[in-house]
Protein backbone atom coordinates (compact mmCIF):
# COMPACT_ATOMS: atom_id res chain seq x y z
CA UNK A 1 0.00 0.00 0.00
CA UNK A 2 1.41 3.32 -1.10
CA UNK A 3 1.91 6.02 1.35
CA UNK A 4 -0.21 9.03 0.46
CA UNK A 5 1.54 12.33 -0.11
CA UNK A 6 0.73 15.17 2.24
CA UNK A 7 -1.52 17.85 0.77
CA UNK A 8 0.51 21.02 0.17
CA UNK A 9 -0.68 24.17 1.86
CA UNK A 10 -2.92 26.40 -0.21
CA UNK A 11 -1.22 29.46 -1.68
CA UNK A 12 -3.75 32.13 -2.67
CA UNK A 13 -1.17 33.73 -4.87
CA UNK A 14 -1.15 30.72 -7.17
CA UNK A 15 -4.75 29.50 -6.96
CA UNK A 16 -6.60 32.83 -7.33
CA UNK A 17 -8.07 33.29 -10.83
CA UNK A 18 -6.19 35.75 -13.04
CA UNK A 19 -7.77 39.16 -13.49
CA UNK A 20 -10.02 39.55 -16.50
CA UNK A 21 -8.36 41.25 -19.42
CA UNK A 22 -9.68 43.33 -22.27
CA UNK A 23 -12.56 44.78 -20.28
CA UNK A 24 -12.08 48.51 -20.28
CA UNK A 25 -14.40 50.80 -18.43
CA UNK A 26 -17.59 51.13 -20.48
CA UNK A 27 -18.25 54.54 -22.00
CA UNK A 28 -20.66 56.58 -19.92
CA UNK A 29 -22.34 58.06 -23.01
CA UNK A 30 -24.27 57.05 -26.11
CA UNK A 31 -21.71 57.23 -28.91
CA UNK A 32 -24.31 57.38 -31.68
CA UNK A 33 -26.22 60.18 -29.97
CA UNK A 34 -22.98 62.09 -29.38
CA UNK A 35 -22.06 61.68 -33.06
CA UNK A 36 -25.46 63.02 -34.08
CA UNK A 37 -24.89 66.15 -31.99
CA UNK A 38 -21.41 66.61 -33.45
CA UNK A 39 -22.85 66.24 -36.96
CA UNK A 40 -25.47 68.92 -36.33
CA UNK A 41 -22.81 71.26 -34.99
CA UNK A 42 -20.47 70.80 -37.97
CA UNK A 43 -23.52 71.13 -40.23
CA UNK A 44 -24.51 74.45 -38.68
CA UNK A 45 -21.11 76.06 -38.07
CA UNK A 46 -18.67 74.34 -40.40
CA UNK A 47 -15.45 72.62 -39.46
CA UNK A 48 -13.10 75.48 -38.68
CA UNK A 49 -15.59 77.51 -36.62
CA UNK A 50 -16.42 74.48 -34.46
CA UNK A 51 -14.07 74.17 -31.50
CA UNK A 52 -13.41 71.18 -29.27
CA UNK A 53 -15.14 73.09 -26.48
CA UNK A 54 -18.20 73.52 -28.73
CA UNK A 55 -18.19 69.81 -29.50
CA UNK A 56 -17.82 68.59 -25.93
CA UNK A 57 -20.64 70.88 -24.81
CA UNK A 58 -22.97 69.74 -27.58
CA UNK A 59 -22.06 66.07 -27.16
CA UNK A 60 -22.26 66.18 -23.36
CA UNK A 61 -18.81 64.65 -22.84
CA UNK A 62 -15.35 65.76 -21.78
CA UNK A 63 -12.47 66.14 -24.19
CA UNK A 64 -10.75 62.94 -22.96
CA UNK A 65 -13.88 60.97 -23.83
CA UNK A 66 -14.11 62.66 -27.22
CA UNK A 67 -10.52 61.73 -28.10
CA UNK A 68 -10.92 58.22 -26.69
CA UNK A 69 -14.07 57.58 -28.71
CA UNK A 70 -13.26 59.36 -31.97
CA UNK A 71 -9.50 59.88 -32.04
CA UNK A 72 -9.33 63.51 -33.14
CA UNK A 73 -11.45 66.39 -34.36
CA UNK A 74 -10.51 65.48 -37.94
CA UNK A 75 -11.56 61.85 -37.51
CA UNK A 76 -14.79 62.97 -35.84
CA UNK A 77 -15.56 65.19 -38.82
CA UNK A 78 -15.10 62.30 -41.25
CA UNK A 79 -17.48 60.20 -39.14
CA UNK A 80 -19.90 63.11 -39.04
CA UNK A 81 -19.94 63.41 -42.84
CA UNK A 82 -20.62 59.68 -43.16
CA UNK A 83 -23.29 59.88 -40.45
CA UNK A 84 -24.92 62.81 -42.25
CA UNK A 85 -25.05 60.94 -45.52
CA UNK A 86 -26.42 57.77 -43.93
CA UNK A 87 -29.00 59.53 -41.77
CA UNK A 88 -30.21 62.52 -43.78
CA UNK A 89 -29.57 62.13 -47.51
CA UNK A 90 -32.62 59.90 -47.81
CA UNK A 91 -34.73 62.99 -47.13
CA UNK A 92 -33.80 64.36 -50.56
CA UNK A 93 -33.01 61.20 -52.54
CA UNK A 94 -35.94 59.01 -51.50
CA UNK A 95 -38.29 59.69 -54.41
CA UNK A 96 -35.41 59.87 -56.87
CA UNK A 97 -34.73 56.15 -56.54
CA UNK A 98 -38.36 55.07 -56.78
CA UNK A 99 -39.54 57.30 -59.66
CA UNK A 100 -40.56 55.68 -62.90
CA UNK A 101 -38.83 58.17 -65.21
CA UNK A 102 -35.70 60.29 -65.02
CA UNK A 103 -37.80 63.45 -65.18
CA UNK A 104 -39.93 62.32 -62.23
CA UNK A 105 -36.75 61.35 -60.38
CA UNK A 106 -35.16 64.78 -60.83
CA UNK A 107 -38.40 66.60 -60.03
CA UNK A 108 -38.73 64.52 -56.85
CA UNK A 109 -35.13 65.25 -55.92
CA UNK A 110 -35.53 69.00 -56.28
CA UNK A 111 -38.92 69.17 -54.58
CA UNK A 112 -37.75 67.01 -51.68
CA UNK A 113 -34.65 69.19 -51.46
CA UNK A 114 -36.85 72.27 -51.16
CA UNK A 115 -38.55 70.67 -48.16
CA UNK A 116 -35.52 69.14 -46.47
CA UNK A 117 -33.09 72.01 -46.96
CA UNK A 118 -35.50 74.46 -45.32
CA UNK A 119 -36.01 72.24 -42.28
CA UNK A 120 -39.53 71.15 -43.19
CA UNK A 121 -38.67 67.46 -42.83
CA UNK A 122 -37.64 67.59 -39.20
CA UNK A 123 -35.68 69.55 -36.62
CA UNK A 124 -32.48 69.81 -38.65
CA UNK A 125 -30.19 72.67 -39.68
CA UNK A 126 -30.87 74.45 -42.94
CA UNK A 127 -28.93 73.67 -46.08
CA UNK A 128 -26.80 70.66 -46.98
CA UNK A 129 -23.80 69.87 -44.78
CA UNK A 130 -21.78 68.49 -47.70
CA UNK A 131 -22.67 71.23 -50.19
CA UNK A 132 -21.96 74.06 -47.76
CA UNK A 133 -18.71 72.65 -46.38
CA UNK A 134 -15.65 74.84 -47.02
CA UNK A 135 -13.28 72.58 -45.11
CA UNK A 136 -10.99 72.09 -48.11
CA UNK A 137 -10.34 75.79 -48.49
CA UNK A 138 -9.70 76.15 -44.76
CA UNK A 139 -6.39 74.32 -45.02
CA UNK A 140 -7.61 70.75 -44.45
CA UNK A 141 -6.86 69.04 -47.74
CA UNK A 142 -7.73 65.49 -46.68
CA UNK A 143 -11.07 66.54 -45.23
CA UNK A 144 -11.70 68.59 -48.35
CA UNK A 145 -11.27 65.45 -50.41
CA UNK A 146 -13.86 63.69 -48.26
CA UNK A 147 -16.54 66.27 -49.05
CA UNK A 148 -15.48 66.58 -52.71
CA UNK A 149 -15.90 62.84 -53.07
CA UNK A 150 -19.36 63.07 -51.51
CA UNK A 151 -20.33 65.82 -53.95
CA UNK A 152 -18.98 63.86 -56.89
CA UNK A 153 -21.09 60.85 -55.95
CA UNK A 154 -24.23 62.91 -56.57
CA UNK A 155 -23.17 63.55 -60.18
CA UNK A 156 -22.43 59.86 -60.63
CA UNK A 157 -25.89 58.91 -59.35
CA UNK A 158 -27.59 61.46 -61.61
CA UNK A 159 -25.58 60.45 -64.68
CA UNK A 160 -26.29 56.77 -64.11
CA UNK A 161 -30.04 57.41 -63.89
CA UNK A 162 -29.96 59.52 -67.05
CA UNK A 163 -28.00 56.86 -68.92
CA UNK A 164 -30.78 54.44 -68.05
CA UNK A 165 -33.28 56.95 -69.41
CA UNK A 166 -31.33 57.06 -72.69
CA UNK A 167 -31.47 53.27 -72.91
CA UNK A 168 -35.23 53.41 -72.27
CA UNK A 169 -35.77 56.08 -74.93
CA UNK A 170 -36.77 58.87 -72.54
CA UNK A 171 -33.69 61.01 -73.21
CA UNK A 172 -32.12 61.36 -76.68
CA UNK A 173 -28.67 59.83 -77.04
CA UNK A 174 -27.39 63.20 -78.28
CA UNK A 175 -27.86 64.84 -74.85
CA UNK A 176 -24.69 65.56 -72.87
CA UNK A 177 -25.57 63.59 -69.75
CA UNK A 178 -22.68 64.90 -67.65
CA UNK A 179 -23.69 68.50 -68.38
CA UNK A 180 -27.32 67.69 -67.58
CA UNK A 181 -26.30 66.05 -64.30
CA UNK A 182 -24.16 69.06 -63.43
CA UNK A 183 -27.12 71.31 -64.16
CA UNK A 184 -29.30 69.45 -61.66
CA UNK A 185 -26.50 69.39 -59.08
CA UNK A 186 -25.91 73.12 -59.52
CA UNK A 187 -29.59 73.91 -59.02
CA UNK A 188 -29.70 71.83 -55.86
CA UNK A 189 -26.49 73.41 -54.55
CA UNK A 190 -27.93 76.88 -55.14
CA UNK A 191 -31.07 75.87 -53.30
CA UNK A 192 -28.91 74.81 -50.36
CA UNK A 193 -27.24 78.22 -50.18
CA UNK A 194 -30.58 80.01 -50.42
CA UNK A 195 -32.02 77.80 -47.68
CA UNK A 196 -29.12 78.65 -45.38
CA UNK A 197 -29.81 82.33 -46.08
CA UNK A 198 -33.44 81.93 -45.05
CA UNK A 199 -35.35 81.17 -48.25
CA UNK A 200 -38.62 79.37 -47.64
CA UNK A 201 -39.79 76.08 -49.07
CA UNK A 202 -42.23 77.66 -51.53
CA UNK A 203 -39.44 79.82 -53.01
CA UNK A 204 -37.25 76.79 -53.59
CA UNK A 205 -40.13 74.80 -55.05
CA UNK A 206 -40.59 77.61 -57.56
CA UNK A 207 -36.90 77.33 -58.43
CA UNK A 208 -37.37 73.58 -58.95
CA UNK A 209 -40.28 74.19 -61.32
CA UNK A 210 -38.24 76.64 -63.40
CA UNK A 211 -35.35 74.19 -63.45
CA UNK A 212 -37.63 71.52 -64.88
CA UNK A 213 -38.53 73.88 -67.72
CA UNK A 214 -34.83 73.93 -68.51
CA UNK A 215 -34.75 70.13 -68.31
CA UNK A 216 -37.65 69.86 -70.78
CA UNK A 217 -36.08 72.35 -73.15
CA UNK A 218 -32.83 70.43 -73.19
CA UNK A 219 -34.26 66.91 -73.32
CA UNK A 220 -37.29 67.27 -75.57
CA UNK A 221 -37.20 70.77 -77.00
CA UNK A 222 -40.70 71.35 -75.66
CA UNK A 223 -41.83 73.32 -72.60
CA UNK A 224 -43.09 71.43 -69.59
CA UNK A 225 -46.87 70.70 -69.67
Q: For the domain that residue 143 is a member of, what is the CATH number?
A: 1.10.357.10
Closest of 81, 87, 164, 78 to residue 130, by C-alpha? 81
The reported pTM is 0.82
For residue 2, what pLDDT is reported? Answer: 39
Parent domain of 87: 78-220
Tell me, what's the pLDDT at 29? 77
Q: Is residue 15 included in any domain, yes or no?
A: no
Is residue 201 a part of any domain in this protein? yes
Going from the C-alpha of 60 to that of each of 31, 66, 73, 214, the distances in angstroms are: 11, 10, 15, 48
Examine the pLDDT at 6 and tell me if it is beyond 60.
no
Whether 161 is covered by a domain: the verdict is yes
Number of independent structural domains in the chain:
1
Q: Quote the CA–CA distance of 203 and 153 in Å, as a whole number.
A: 27
**Rg from Cα positions in the chain:** 27
In a domain, 188, yes or no: yes
Report yes or no on 135 lying in a domain. Answer: yes
Q: Is residue 16 part of a domain?
A: no
Residue 3 belongs to some domain of the structure: no
| 5 within a domain of the structure (yes/no) | no
Alpha carbon distance 115, 170 (integer Å): 27
Enumerate residues 6+ apart whose C-beta is below 8 A from 112. Answer: 91, 92, 93, 94, 95, 96, 121
pLDDT tens, residue by residue, 26-55:
456 799 999 999 999 999 999 999 999 999
201 and 118 Cβ atoms separated by less than 8 Å: yes
Segment 69-98, tens digit of pLDDT: 999 999 999 999 999 999 999 999 999 999
Amino acid sequence: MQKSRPTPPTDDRTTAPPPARGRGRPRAFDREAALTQATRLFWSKGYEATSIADLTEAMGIGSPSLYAAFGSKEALYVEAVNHYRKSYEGLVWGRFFTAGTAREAVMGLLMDSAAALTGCRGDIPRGCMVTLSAVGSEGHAELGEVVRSARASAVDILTERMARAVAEGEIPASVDLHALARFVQTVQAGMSILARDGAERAELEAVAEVAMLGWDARVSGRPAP
